[in-house]
Chain A
Amino acid sequence: MRIIVPIKQVPETNAVKMDEATGTMIRDGVEAIVNPLDLYAIEIAIRLREAHGGEVLAVSMGPPKAVKAVKEAVAMGCDGGVLVSDKAFAGADTWATSYVLAEAIKTLGDYQLIICGERATDGDTGQVGPGIAAWLDLPVASYVSKVEDVSEDICRCQRLVEEGYEILDVTMPAVLTVVKEVADPRLPTLGGKQKARKLEVPTLGQADMTVKQEYLGLKGSPTRVVKIFRPKVARQCQMFTATDETSIDQAADAMVGFLKERELI
């Protein structure tokens, strides 16, 4: 089977800076990694290939340096990948991002599954996976926690919902978005790293696909960031230090007092 895994390069630390004027993130000077939640998508894709044969391709949209994310996916065991990159794609919201990714995927030939991470740790929206499905007019199973079986054209999976787990038979081609429970990601192998180092990752720009100009980047995005600010947190904390038997006893007593005062016990 052929599996496409859209991945995103995200900043490593939480110490990211914002461009106050455009409301977008300044990515310079912050180490970039593969979105940790995408690793689960890569892992389950590789496992499916190991069980059923075929090929796994990683697709990443981002600036030229996001090629590193594709190479990391290859080092883990993906067979190859493409970078989707063009100045015209910059500033895209989830609507415009999923549009370009869907158009890029259309150029890659037939596939049975598109497997996405649940969400990226920077934008935290989780909208791009279902968005890609909508653009490609494919069914999407979100929050997949287990892929039980893949037969001819059906993928049986477990979907994590509020009340428990749904067991779904999904007709392929389809999009899955997966949660952590799906599989523990492996580390890159030495052989994988060597393969990744040598690999020429093709870049797809707007000229390489049939895209509508008016759907691209910031100007193609329905949403606009109008303000960025830091969250305020303010509570008065009653503090006790508990270092020995006496102070531990006092602190625990005070805690019970607090519970009583607030009518919590």
Chain B
Amino acid sequence: MEYKGVWILAEQFKGRVQRISHELLTRGADLAAKRGVELTAVIFGNEINDDDLQGLIDRGADTVIATEAPELEHFLVEPYAACMIKLIAEHRPEIVIAGATSTGRTLMPYVAIKTNAGLTADCTVLDIEEDTGNLLQTRPAIGGNILATIKTPNHRPQMATVRPRSTQPAPTQQGRTGKITRLTAPSELLESRIRRVDFVPDESEHGLQDADTVVACGRGIKKGENLSLINDLAESLDAAVGASRDVVDRGWLSYPHQVGLSGKTVSPKLYVAIGVSGTIQHLAGMQTSENVIAVNSDPDAQIFRVADFGIVGNLFEVVPAMIEKIKATREGEKH
């Protein structure tokens, strides 16, 4: 049996399908159209919301395969991998893409080894090579200094992870129909040597990737105490607070705030970079933002290359003025 079809790994949290699934449908639909094959969304969980599964069809999937069991409610690498390997063996997809999330980045390498598949991490561009039909996977490497295009000539499936927020979610289309298959995972696949005993939600980090506006600070803030200025600016703009790697490495903000290749990728409507020099590593995590404002004392700072609006100056003088003007404008609107 030949390998055929494009799969995306949809993800759920508490039974609700997550946004990354819809982003992957955007990628998957393009690849499936170019290959002239069906697009399938594969999802693992327990009691997954019916409307959300139909939502995968509405947003472009031709088929949905949901594998369910209480043991699959949360990601555990062994049962998830066992179920996925079984599906791959039965259906033989040509391409499998997943989000570069904590789940995708763990499950995909595990499955790729066990299925002899080629896997490329953190792709920013996926395409089909015209002559061969091979998946072309483009990803940043070496701190984002280079982009590499990678293919998997002889191994199937061709697997890739894609950074969350690196593409728009596929929109709902009216009147789409497709087949939804709900499977109950066989118990022999559900054994796990890892037990999830508790979960502690982190409210503080929430919102960075969902925020419409992000205010990010870099080493230019000089010390942790100066974060209050950044927080004030963020508050004036209803923004989440991000940081460069330098700031996190110095312990001024925790790792979940880190934007960049080794942190989060964000794509907000507005990204305000304060005292961020703009290393390639940082730019890789924010350059798809719709609008970028940068404040830096160095006119040659790399951050200005990706900015739409830049102020060269001392951030400790400029930012208070920005806060004042923003507040005045917002107050003015209320009256």
Binding site for B on A (CB under 8 A): 11, 14, 16, 18, 23, 25, 37, 93-95, 98-99, 118-119, 121-131, 133-135, 138-143, 145, 156, 158-171, 174, 179-181, 221-231, 233-243, 247-249, 251-256, 258-260, 262, 264-265
Which residues of the other chain, B, contact A37 by a CB distance below 8 angstroms? Answer: 262
28 contacts between A and B (CB under 8 A): A14-B145, A14-B279, A121-B262, A127-B109, A127-B119, A130-B77, A130-B106, A139-B193, A161-B102, A164-B200, A165-B199, A166-B198, A167-B200, A170-B194, A223-B152, A224-B153, A225-B149, A228-B146, A228-B147, A228-B148, A231-B140, A235-B292, A237-B308, A237-B310, A248-B313, A251-B318, A256-B325, A265-B237
Does B270 interact with chain A (Cβ within 8 Å)?
Answer: yes
B314 and chain A: residue at smallest CB distance = A242
Which residues of the other chain, B, contact A166 by a CB distance below 8 angstroms? Answer: 74, 196, 198-199
Which residues of the other chain, A, contact B81 by a CB distance below 8 angstroms? Answer: 134
Contact present for A124 and B310 (CB under 8 Å)? no
Which residues of the other chain, B, contact A169 by a CB distance below 8 angstroms? Answer: 194-195, 197
Interface string of B141-161 (1 = CB under 8 A from A): 111111111111111000000
Q: How far is the CA of A169 from the CA of B153 in the complex (A)?
A: 39
Contact present for B308 and A123 (CB under 8 Å)? no
Contact present for B304 and A167 (CB under 8 Å)? no
Instruction: Choose one: B102, B279, B308, B312; the contact of A258 (CB below 8 Å).
Output: B308
State the 8 A-B residue pairs at the shortest beta-carbon distance, nearest first.
A222-B118, A242-B313, A134-B113, A167-B198, A222-B155, A164-B201, A125-B121, A130-B109
Q: How far is the CA of A132 from the CA of B114 in the complex (A)?
A: 11
Contact present for B106 and A224 (CB under 8 Å)? no
> What's the interface size class on B, roughly?
35 or more
Contact present for B109 and A230 (CB under 8 Å)? no
Which residues of the other chain, A, contact B54 by a CB distance below 8 angstroms? Answer: none
Q: How far is the CA of A74 from the CA of B249 in the complex (A)?
A: 23
Contact present for A223 and B150 (CB under 8 Å)? yes
Q: How far is the CA of A259 from the CA of B239 in the complex (A)?
A: 14
Instruction: Choose one: B102, B108, B293; the contact of A160 (CB below 8 Å).
Output: B102
List residues 255-309 of chain B with CB under 8 A from any CB of chain A. 255-256, 261-262, 269-270, 279-281, 283, 287, 291-294, 299, 304-309
Contact present for B202 and A95 (CB under 8 Å)? no
Mostly, the B contact residues are mixed
Which residues of the other chain, B, contact A124 by a CB distance below 8 angstroms? Answer: 121-122, 140-143, 261-262
Contact present for B198 and A23 (CB under 8 Å)? no
Does B110 interact with chain A (Cβ within 8 Å)?
Answer: yes
Contact present for B256 and A160 (CB under 8 Å)? yes
Given the known A-B contacts A124-B121, A142-B106, are A243 and B287 also in contact in the complex, defined by CB atoms under 8 Å? no
Which residues of the other chain, A, contact B147 by a CB distance below 8 angstroms? Answer: 228-231
Which residues of the other chain, B, contact A163 by a CB distance below 8 angstroms? Answer: 13, 199, 201-202, 206
Contact present for A237 and B151 (CB under 8 Å)? no
Most B Cβ at <10 Å: residue of A93, A243, A251: A251
Contact present for B120 and A223 (CB under 8 Å)? yes
Which residues of the other chain, A, contact B151 by a CB distance below 8 angstroms? Answer: 223-224, 226
Contact present for B117 and A222 (CB under 8 Å)? yes
Q: How far is the CA of A223 from the CA of B145 in the complex (A)?
A: 20
Contact present for B102 and A142 (CB under 8 Å)? yes
Which residues of the other chain, A, contact B294 by a CB distance below 8 angstroms? Answer: 237
Contact present for A14 and B109 (CB under 8 Å)? no
Contact present for A18 and B109 (CB under 8 Å)? no
Contact present for A262 and B291 (CB under 8 Å)? yes
Q: How far is the CA of A168 from the CA of B146 in the complex (A)?
A: 37
Q: How far is the CA of A168 from the CA of B119 in the complex (A)?
A: 27
Given the known A-B contacts A143-B102, A168-B194, A222-B118, are A237 and B307 also in contact in the complex, defined by CB atoms under 8 Å? yes
Which residues of the other chain, B, contact A18 by a CB distance below 8 angstroms? Answer: 146
Most A Cβ at <10 Å: residue of B111, B122, B283: B122
